[in-house]
Amino acid sequence: MAAYLVANVDIFDNVGYEEYRQKVPATIAAYGGRYLARGGITEVLEGTALPGRCVLLEFPSMARLKAWWDSPEYKPLREIRERSAKTYLFVTEGI
């Protein structure tokens, strides 16, 4: 069953985040993931959320998503993201 990662990213260090943005796609692809949305226009239709950069990833399974999340390839990039942006993340399985 496919699994999805949804991220709402509020970038406060554009230089640091640019390094992350350039290097992370290869790690995602290595675990079978792909972008469904990445940084396009985001609009709130209901509620009080303040969206930043929106990212939607799809992986073949939750196991592959978590393998990527915990991977040695992604860990240093995750640290860069954490230093350069405040991010709200959640994962869900598809139907």
What domains are defined for the chain?
A: 3-93 (3.30.70.100)
The residue-averaged pLDDT of 41-52 equals 85
pLDDT of residue 75: 97
Does 92 score more than 80 pLDDT? Answer: yes
Within 8 A by CB and 6+ apart from 94, the residues are: 1, 2, 3, 4, 58
On average, the pLDDT of the chain sits at 94
Predicted confidence (pLDDT) at residue 70 exceeds the cutoff of 90: yes
pLDDT digits (tens, 9 = 90+) for 6-42: 999 999 999 999 999 999 999 999 999 999 999 888 8
Give the C-alpha separation, 73 to 10, whole Å.
23
Residue 95 binned pLDDT confidence (cut-offs 50, 70, 90): confident
